[in-house]
Chain A
Amino acid sequence: MFNPFDFAEHPGRAYLIATLLPLVPVILLLIAATARNMARSRSHTDSFASRVYWLLGGDRPLKTGGYLSLVFLLASFGLSVWGLLNFFEESHTLHDQPKELSKRWAERGDWLRIGAAKGIRPAAALQTGYRIDPLSALMFTMVTGIGSLIFLFSLGYMNEETEETVEDHAAHTTRRGRFGRFYLYLSLFAFSMLNLLIADNLFQVFVGWELVGVCSFFLIGFYYERKSASTAANKAFIVNRIGDAGLLIGIAIAFATFGTLNFQDLAELIDGRQPSEMSHGLWILMGLGLFVGCVGKSAQVPLQTWLPDAMEGPTPVSALIHAATMVAAGVYLVGRCYPLFAPEVFLTIAYCGLITLILSASVALVMTDIKRVLAFSTCSQLGFMMLALGVGAWTAGLLHLLTHAFFKALLFLGAGSVIRGCHHEQDLRQMGGLRRKMPITAYAMLVGVLAISGIPFFSGWYSKDQILSSALGYSVAHNRHALLFFGPLIAAGMTAFYMFRLWFLAFTGPPRNAEVYRHARESPFTMVLPLIALALCSLGIAWGWPPWDAEASFLGHMLHEGEPLAARTFAHARESAEDHHLAAGGLALLAAVIGAAYSWSLYGRRAPTTAQLTEPTGVLAKRWYFDDVYDFVFLRGSLRLAALAAKADRSGPEQPRRYTLDGAMSGFAALAVFGGRQLRKIQTGSVRQYVLALVLTLIGLLGMLSAFAR
């Protein structure tokens, strides 16, 4: 009998419970919403339905849904912290018994058996299972922790959704508040993301992958009355489908070749060497397929265009899904599939990350919408992670994933606090001087800015320093790839520049828009508390002893225990990285300081007026023309193709058209009518004719039998 609470024997099941916990509010909210909607029409009668309706909040959405989701996610967070502590303790005590460790922290079972019939090549099965290792344990705790803080933040941020009617100025409509729906989607997202993290096989990852995709779609389109929001939701969904097609191809190749999708099994079968079961080309194709999925989800070039548009969603969503967790799933999967990749694939990953981090950072330099700056910054930081993974710095890349999650969540929540304080003003050119009105937000965000810029002792420094030294080591070991170091170095300078620019424009100098400034106020307690907590994490999450040694981060060491053996193929580059560590760190710091100082000289020393901050133009403001090219080639291309087809269809001589597609459709209909008419003639009603037909048929059948049976 399967006992999910058997923690003594299988402590890993705590994670199973923790994954399922967010599903409880989803179900409860669904039931409550359905009941409320069914009872609404009878709300003013004296009936049971009416009592249910008023019990569930009546015309105003009940705030309980939010509290409920928060409590369940907090429980999940508690379980994952317990699991994290136990796991690391056991991984030390059971250090020499990996079998015992994996028995206690991983389980799997067949979900769907395929090809067990006789004559079909080896019986395979789609499995489900979970496996806890340092990476998944840390990611799990990060997601539930940041998730809880953002759930708390949203209680304040989404407060106006608890009103009976909400006025949507952007869409010029009024509508009912959607508080419960927001938490329904967020909880569903939490469940999907956690499922993705504990999965021990590609199939289950794919399920979680699609689930988080659809939650992202729902939440980007949360204000679906706005055209821009519904378009952005569609764009995100469709662009992600392109990546998912690649992922599915990769999964299919792995399954067809090896008959298993379990990470552990695949790692043993492949482990960085070309497996004998497949040709080299197929091996590369499999890796590229998996990577294309990650490109879509992690918004790397060329599929990055959806992420900036995803900022149409509510800001807590941008923080949780489009900065801290879901978009990091691509990086996470690359880290998971590390042993599966061919050397050529690693090079592709590195260069894809390089292009993304440069292009996105350069666009972030000129953006004036506070959330867009952060969105492009997210793309760019994800590029850093991809580049790190591509040059063999597994630990550095995933450490950056963890630290980035904290400071980017902080920055987004800070932006949310500013936007709410300024009554939904997102344009940096209308802000200024807000430091005096919202000091906690301002200084919490400053911590985030320092962390993302890679200033020493802030969490971002530890990871970025490791990434840059690995990149330098790699480009020293492989001279041709020197760009892999100089690219991120320049981008690190740009990062410091645009982040300080954001901070200076929003918080210092004289107010640019007196109206906005006058109404600005600090956010309520529920929103400030997560900011403070995240600021503390952004500061100290990666600390170690001694703190001035970037290599000594405790978080880094914990993560390092989970490093796959496949990373050893980069031994050459790693040795050289150790030699050049100091140089890389110094250069990175120099770049950050130059960027920050230049930013100060432009925006901090003498604050520019609104008139000086003109609408940005040029290639950067156009985001390197990616959107325009896609619009021209794919969108208009397919529209043009459709128009062409429609025109061809209408080119027949008469109505209904006789020759083209219309004609074919009408032809089938005409054939059916004609056949019916003919068949009607043989139904005469004369019994004698029926008997004759019967006998003739019988004779015919017997004749056939005697002809063929011998």
Chain B
Amino acid sequence: MADVGLAPFQILAAFLFACGVACLVTKRNAIGLLMGVELILNAANLNLVAAARFVPGLRIEGQVFAVIVIVLAAAEAAVALAIFLNFYNNHATVDVDRANESKG
């Protein structure tokens, strides 16, 4: 495991990030957007944990940050789902393009 190095992890993280961004840009479904955000956050998490393992001088910091990001993601998902639920109640849809009533 030690001889794999940092690069494969970073490539995987970049791939995950790209997937997340693509998801954000293309989806109109609110749940889909939330999944894109999760993908981006996890890409960052993977980077952090891998760096903690392979970069000399870094030990527990990366993992701590990863835990913080997980908590953050959970909180964000909770809030976002609450908003979408309300939105669905009012409009019977989760299409974000319909959320244009406050557009000036």
Residue A688 CB within 8 A of the other chain: yes
Residue A646 CB within 8 A of the other chain: no
Query: Could you tell me the distance between the alpha carbons of A686 and B24 in the complex, rounded to whole angstroms?
Result: 12
Flag A678-705 by CB within 8 Å of B: 1 or 0 each: 0000000111100110010000000000
Nearest-neighbor residue (CB-CB) of B21 within chain A: A695
A692 adjacent to B25 (CB under 8 Å) = yes
Residue B89 CB within 8 A of the other chain: no
B26 adjacent to A688 (CB under 8 Å) = yes
Query: Could you tell me the distance between the alpha carbons of A645 and B20 in the complex, rounded to whole angstroms?
Result: 64
Flag A656-691 by CB within 8 Å of B: 1 or 0 each: 000000000000000000000000000001111001
Query: Could you tell me the distance between the alpha carbons of A688 and B100 in the complex, rounded to whole angstroms?
Result: 13
Q: Which residue from B24, B28, B97, B103 sits with its C-beta under 8 Å from A691? A: B24
Q: Which residues on A sit within 8 Å (CB–CB) of B71?
A: none
Residue B79 CB within 8 A of the other chain: no
Nearest-neighbor residue (CB-CB) of B26 within chain A: A688
Query: Could you tell me the distance between the alpha carbons of A670 and B100 in the complex, rounded to whole angstroms?
Result: 31
Flag B25-47 by CB within 8 Å of A: 1 or 0 each: 11110000000000000000000
Q: Which residues on A sit within 8 Å (CB–CB) of B21?
A: 691, 695
A685 adjacent to B100 (CB under 8 Å) = yes
Query: Could you tell me the distance between the alpha carbons of A691 and B36 in the complex, rounded to whole angstroms?
Result: 12
Nearest-neighbor residue (CB-CB) of A685 within chain B: B103
Q: Which residues on A sit within 8 Å (CB–CB) of B24?
A: 688, 691
A688 adjacent to B25 (CB under 8 Å) = yes
Q: Which residues on B sit within 8 Å (CB–CB) of A685?
A: 100, 103
Q: Which residues on B sit within 8 Å (CB–CB) of A687?
A: 96
A686 adjacent to B25 (CB under 8 Å) = no
Query: Could you tell me the distance between the alpha carbons of A119 and B71 in the complex, rounded to whole angstroms?
Result: 55
Flag B67-104 by CB within 8 Å of A: 1 or 0 each: 00000000000000000000000000000110010010
Query: Could you tell me the distance between the alpha carbons of A687 and B103 in the complex, rounded to whole angstroms?
Result: 12
Q: Which residues on B sit within 8 Å (CB–CB) of A695?
A: 21, 25
Q: Which residues on A sit within 8 Å (CB–CB) of B97?
A: 686
Query: Could you tell me the distance between the alpha carbons of A692 and B100 in the complex, rounded to whole angstroms?
Result: 19
B contacts with A, residue count (CB < 8 A): 10
Q: Which residues on B sit within 8 Å (CB–CB) of A686?
A: 97
Query: Could you tell me the distance between the alpha carbons of A328 and B81 in the complex, rounded to whole angstroms?
Result: 88
Query: Could you tell me the distance between the alpha carbons of A688 and B24 in the complex, rounded to whole angstroms?
Result: 7
Query: Could you tell me the distance between the alpha carbons of A695 and B100 in the complex, rounded to whole angstroms?
Result: 23
Q: Which residues on A sit within 8 Å (CB–CB) of B25?
A: 688, 691-692, 695
How far, in Å, is B34 (CB) from chain A's closest CB? 13
Nearest-neighbor residue (CB-CB) of A686 within chain B: B97
Q: Which residues on B sit within 8 Å (CB–CB) of A691?
A: 21, 24-25
Nearest-neighbor residue (CB-CB) of B27 within chain A: A688
How far, in Å, is A451 (CB) from chain B's closest CB? 85
How far, in Å, is A177 (CB) from chain B's closest CB? 61
Query: Could you tell me the distance between the alpha carbons of A691 and B97 in the complex, rounded to whole angstroms?
Result: 14
Query: Could you tell me the distance between the alpha carbons of A688 and B96 in the complex, rounded to whole angstroms?
Result: 9
Nearest-neighbor residue (CB-CB) of B104 within chain A: A685
How far, in Å, is A492 (CB) from chain B's closest CB? 87
Output the residue of A686, A688, A692 with the most chain B CB within 10 A: A688
How far, in Å, is B26 (CB) from chain A's closest CB? 7
Flag B9-33 by CB within 8 Å of A: 1 or 0 each: 0000000000001001111100000
Nearest-neighbor residue (CB-CB) of B103 within chain A: A685
Query: Could you tell me the distance between the alpha carbons of A695 and B97 in the complex, rounded to whole angstroms?
Result: 20
Nearest-neighbor residue (CB-CB) of A695 within chain B: B21
How far, in Å, is B75 (CB) from chain A's closest CB? 20
Query: Could you tell me the distance between the alpha carbons of A685 and B96 in the complex, rounded to whole angstroms?
Result: 11
Q: Which residues on A sit within 8 Å (CB–CB) of B28?
A: 688
Q: Which residues on A sit within 8 Å (CB–CB) of B96?
A: 687-688
Nearest-neighbor residue (CB-CB) of A689 within chain B: B25
Q: Which residues on A sit within 8 Å (CB–CB) of B27?
A: 688
How far, in Å, is B59 (CB) from chain A's closest CB? 29
Query: Could you tell me the distance between the alpha carbons of A288 and B103 in the complex, rounded to whole angstroms?
Result: 70
Nearest-neighbor residue (CB-CB) of A694 within chain B: B21
How far, in Å, is B73 (CB) from chain A's closest CB? 18
Q: Which residues on B sit within 8 Å (CB–CB) of A692?
A: 25
Query: Could you tell me the distance between the alpha carbons of A319 and B28 in the complex, rounded to whole angstroms?
Result: 89
Nearest-neighbor residue (CB-CB) of A693 within chain B: B25
Query: Could you tell me the distance between the alpha carbons of A687 and B21 in the complex, rounded to whole angstroms?
Result: 12
Query: Could you tell me the distance between the alpha carbons of A245 and B27 in the complex, rounded to whole angstroms?
Result: 71
Query: Could you tell me the distance between the alpha carbons of A691 and B21 in the complex, rounded to whole angstroms?
Result: 8
How far, in Å, is A129 (CB) from chain B's closest CB? 61
Flag A427-459 by CB within 8 Å of B: 1 or 0 each: 000000000000000000000000000000000
Query: Could you tell me the distance between the alpha carbons of A685 and B102 in the complex, rounded to whole angstroms?
Result: 9
Nearest-neighbor residue (CB-CB) of A684 within chain B: B103
Query: Could you tell me the distance between the alpha carbons of A695 and B25 in the complex, rounded to whole angstroms?
Result: 10
Nearest-neighbor residue (CB-CB) of A692 within chain B: B25
Nearest-neighbor residue (CB-CB) of B100 within chain A: A685
Sampled A-B contacts (16; CB under 8 Å): A685-B100, A685-B103, A686-B97, A687-B96, A688-B24, A688-B25, A688-B26, A688-B27, A688-B28, A688-B96, A691-B21, A691-B24, A691-B25, A692-B25, A695-B21, A695-B25
Could you list which residues of chain A lie within 8 angstroms of chain B, going by C-beta atoms?
685-688, 691-692, 695
| Given A685-B100, A695-B21, 12 new contacts (CB under 8 A) | A685-B103, A686-B97, A688-B24, A688-B25, A688-B26, A688-B27, A688-B96, A691-B21, A691-B24, A691-B25, A692-B25, A695-B25
10 nearest A-B pairs in the assembled complex, by CB-CB distance: A685-B103, A692-B25, A691-B24, A688-B25, A695-B21, A691-B25, A685-B100, A688-B24, A687-B96, A686-B97
